[in-house]
Structure 1
Amino acid sequence: MDSLTQVAPRIWQLPFPVGHVHAIALPDNGYAIVDTAVPGSAPAILDALARLGARPHDLRQIVLTHSHIDHMGSAADLVEATGARVLAGAAGAPVIRGAAPEPQPVHGPAERDLHEQITADFAAAGLPPLRHVGVDVELRDGDTLDGWAEPVRVLHVPGHTPGGSALHLPGSKVLFPGDIIGHMGGRAVLGPFNVDRDGAIASFRRLAALDDVDTVCVPHGEPIITGARDVLASATPEEDWR
């Protein structure tokens, strides 16, 4: 993992080769993280938090935007190390717990090649097996997270998975879109590997239409911190991954 990058007041990106993690400083001197990268990433995440001055028990919340391995992969290890609570979308919680199978995406030709490459990279890296984890709080559209320095609005954004969640912080104008939005070559793009492409495009458009967004903390690609409104407005998710 590379060095920490501060993307907004109280928010840092912990970049990983696949699936970035974001750390958020809470007003009680604790921290929350959004997503947990692939299995085996917990030591790097705890090391990054230590560089921010946090001890393991200072991690209060783990918010999982959805159930894919590069987002929930290290959640179980982090819960064991820290005692943090896990928050995730209600529709995806059974998958995260291991009570339901992961819905399979529908791949277009461009996505199929990319998926095969990523799968090969995971195999070559020798990742530990995925461990499921309990969900302490099931999130629904319109919920507000407790314990943060400002109101955090939960948005249900299905399409990539049935249970995807995004977080919008209108006060600081920050958006955590999960895999609905990626950032490639200066463009906001629809995330690949969707179970429902039309639903994912509708979720993308919902997020792109939000007021009060200056910073988009994408899990894949560089954060959008300059001209985010224009970048989102000019996106063409309908044309991505054709």
Structure 2
Amino acid sequence: MLEQVSARVWVTTSPTWLTTSTVVVDDDGACLVVDPALTPADLVSLQRELTDRGWHVAAAFSTHPHWDHTLWSEALPDVPRWATPAAAAACTDEELAAQAARDLPGHRWDVVGGTTPLPPDTTELPWTGPRAVVVATPGHAPGHASLHLPGERVLLAGDMLSDVEVPLLDDGPGAVDAYRRSLQRLADVVAGCDAVVPGHGRVTDAAAASHRLAADHRYLDDLTAGAEPLDPRLGDQRVRAEHEAQAARLPV
């Protein structure tokens, strides 16, 4: 299940929407789990594999307040599950559970939501493992943040820099400009990384991530100009529907 992308970083990918979960492992086996997903069976399997490796979950981080990034399970221990203050406050647990029931029905979820807000202006996660820098990347969802592991030369991009999804925008005002600024911020981080992990899609390197950055800028340019984007990611029916919905929301 888990694939190693650096000395201390491992990733597993669910076949549903190519949703990734990332595990950062300290020398003593303590783990930081980022965006664990996607089904209850996935979460149970993740915990089983961590136990089999002799690792233990010490903390978690949710990159943003969409249900598939705020999941937990009774199979996993009760640990801090950090999110930015804006992300933690954006949706109630009931709203997130309703989203999950709508988007992926038929599952009995243990925990959806329940994240712990980081103190305001926190720039690094307060855990004892590899340094994890919180990078504010708004535009996709309130409080969206990526996680940079400089010692590992790894970027966990949340729902950005995907090879399977176009930029999906927050419903709030100014989302396009915020997303563009986030892409510019990520470009500086990507240049110093060996591995980039999107929330949905395939792990890649800095060179390919730079191509994704350019594709995302082109998509936003076409979207705001009212032009039809020539983007292969729109071949997926779900992504096409999301694109058409957000194109309809933009002011004429």
- How does the TM-score come out when normalised to structure 2? 0.71
Task: Report the Cα distance in structure 1 between the residues aligned to 2:76 and 2:104, rounded to whole angstroms.
Answer: 24
Structure 2 counterpart of 1:200, from 179, 193, 198: 179
Structure 2 counterpart of 1:86, from 81, 86, 97: 81
| Corresponding letter in the other structure for 1:87 | W
| Corresponding letter in the other structure for 2:51 | A
Who is 1:30 aligned against? Answer: 30
Who is 2:167 aligned against? Answer: 191
1:214 correspondence with 2:194: yes
Q: Do the aligned residues in 2 keep the contact of 1:96 with 1:134 (CA within 8 Å)?
A: no
1:137-196 residue CA offsets vs partner (Å, 9 max, x unmatched): 426556112335432211111111011111112222110110022124xxxx64325332
Q: Do the aligned residues in 2 keep the contact of 1:5 with 1:14 (CA within 8 Å)?
A: yes
Task: Report the Cα distance in structure 1 between the residues aligned to 2:180 and 2:26, rounded to whole angstroms.
Answer: 32
Q: Do the aligned residues in 2 keep the contact of 1:6 with 1:12 (CA within 8 Å)?
A: yes
- How does the TM-score come out when normalised to structure 1? 0.74
1:27-59 residue CA offsets vs partner (Å, 9 max, x unmatched): 3321111002135232122123134322xxx20
| Corresponding letter in the other structure for 1:122 | L
Task: Report the Cα distance in structure 1 between the residues aligned to 2:198 and 2:83, rounded to whole angstroms.
Answer: 17
Who is 1:109 aligned against? Answer: none
Who is 1:14 aligned against? Answer: 12
| Corresponding letter in the other structure for 1:194 | D
1:135 correspondence with 2:115: yes
Cα gap change, 1:171 to 1:64, in 2 (>3 Å): same
Q: Do the aligned residues in 2 keep the contact of 1:214 with 1:227 (CA within 8 Å)?
A: no
Per-residue deviation at 1:208?
A: 1.6
Q: Do the aligned residues in 1 keep the contact of 2:196 with 2:209 (CA within 8 Å)?
A: no
1:98 correspondence with 2:93: yes
Who is 2:53 aligned against? Answer: 52
Q: Do the aligned residues in 2 keep the contact of 1:140 with 1:155 (CA within 8 Å)?
A: no
Cα gap change, 1:39 to 1:4, in 2 (>3 Å): closer
Aligned pair count reads 212
Unpaired runs of 5+ residues, structure 1, are: 103-117
Task: Report the Cα distance in structure 1 between the residues aligned to 2:128 and 2:213, rounded to whole angstroms.
Answer: 28
Who is 1:175 aligned against? Answer: 155
Unpaired runs of 5+ residues, structure 2, are: 224-228, 230-252
Q: Do the aligned residues in 1 keep the contact of 2:197 with 2:204 (CA within 8 Å)?
A: yes
1:77-100 residue CA offsets vs partner (Å, 9 max, x unmatched): 25x74122111011011235538x
Who is 1:68 aligned against? Answer: 66
Q: Do the aligned residues in 2 keep the contact of 1:98 with 1:132 (CA within 8 Å)?
A: yes
| Corresponding letter in the other structure for 1:191 | P
Task: Report the Cα distance in structure 2 between the residues aligned to 1:20 and 1:71, rounded to whole angstroms.
Answer: 10
| Corresponding letter in the other structure for 2:162 | G
Structure label with greater radius of gyration = 2
Task: Report the Cα distance in structure 2 between the residues aligned to 1:136 and 1:119, rounded to whole angstroms.
Answer: 23
Cα gap change, 1:27 to 1:82, in 2 (>3 Å): same
Q: Do the aligned residues in 1 keep the contact of 2:142 with 2:170 (CA within 8 Å)?
A: no
Q: Do the aligned residues in 2 keep the contact of 1:88 with 1:139 (CA within 8 Å)?
A: no
Task: Report the Cα distance in structure 2 between the residues aligned to 1:206 and 1:36, rounded to whole angstroms.
Answer: 25
1:92-139 residue CA offsets vs partner (Å, 9 max, x unmatched): 11235538x57xxxxxxxxxxxxxxx998723xx12358444333426
**DSSP-derived class of the 1:82 partner:** coil
Q: Do the aligned residues in 1 keep the contact of 2:34 with 2:62 (CA within 8 Å)?
A: yes
